[in-house]
Amino acid sequence: MRIERIVDLSRPIGSQTVVYPGDPPVRLRPVATIERDGFNVLDVGLGSQSGTHVDAPYHCRADAARIDELPLQRFVGPGVVIDARDRRPREAIGPDALAPYEADLTPGVIAVLRTGWAEHYGTDRYFDHPYLHREACERLLARGVTTILVDAPSPDETPDGDHPGEGYPCHRLVAAAGGVVGENLCGLERIDWPDPLISVLPIRLEAADGAPVRAVALRMTL
């Protein structure tokens, strides 16, 4: 096997990084420079849920595995890109959206929800994204899919003053199954080949609820 192509699915982390409402902003500050010290060092301040990142079950369950305790198999595997771009703002993605892909949704697969909402990154509209219906999440878990990624801030509806949300049911279901949620992916339109290998390996933050990732899709050939 060899790698024929690698596509970056990650947001850069910097001053323009969009964070979930209430999360700490990203802060990057040089503390050493080549001109003064002979080398560069950056002081990095950010939340565990910054940028393109994954959530461990501990994000929603106090008794569950943390990011550095999960098997690496949760973060690397064959991907199935589920096209849900026909959904309107804050519309649920139900089990019907999974139907064309069910034969490929098997244990070990990484489900990648393509809502198209990545194009709204950096605007208020980004938080009005479509979301995964509880029944669709249950269907994925029943088929053995325990890693679910999305090109939006969350697979659950993002609450605001007009939309209280439903208590993050998909996060809680995936956490109860020992699975992983990944958020803020981008560039899914560049996966223009079948059967991509997806990698969302996180930084090994000790005892953390989640961590940023360098998400990529790889095209493998014999």
CATH code (residue 61): 3.50.30.50
What is the C-alpha to C-alpha distance for residues 201 and 182, in angstroms, rounded to an integer? 10
What is the C-alpha to C-alpha distance for residues 158 and 135, in angstroms, rounded to an integer? 18
**pLDDT value of residue 46:** 97
- Nearest Cα residue to 61 out of 158, 160, 142, 181: 181
Number of domains in the chain: 1
Query: Has residue 76 been placed in a domain?
Result: yes
Query: Has residue 38 been placed in a domain?
Result: no
**pLDDT value of residue 209:** 98
**pLDDT value of residue 181:** 98
Query: Has residue 189 been placed in a domain?
Result: yes
Give helix 169-176 / helix 134-142 axis angle, nearest 10°.
Answer: 20
Phi-psi region of 167 (alpha: psi -120 to 50; beta: other; left: phi over 0): left
Q: How far is CA 148 from the centre of its chain?
A: 7
**pLDDT value of residue 1:** 84
Query: Has residue 161 been placed in a domain?
Result: yes
Query: Has residue 151 been placed in a domain?
Result: yes
Query: Has residue 174 been placed in a domain?
Result: yes
**pLDDT value of residue 166:** 83
Query: Has residue 24 been placed in a domain?
Result: no
Range of the domain at 210: 2-17+47-221
**pLDDT value of residue 164:** 77
What is the C-alpha to C-alpha distance for residues 111 and 105, in angstroms, rounded to an integer? 8
Burial label, 147 (beta-carbon count in 10 A; 0-12, 13-18, 19+): buried
- Nearest Cα residue to 199 out of 220, 178, 174: 220
pTM: 0.96
Mean pLDDT by 10 residues, the chain (222 residues): 96 95 96 98 98 98 97 98 98 97 97 98 97 98 98 96 84 98 98 97 98 98 88
**pLDDT value of residue 163:** 79
Query: Has residue 36 been placed in a domain?
Result: no
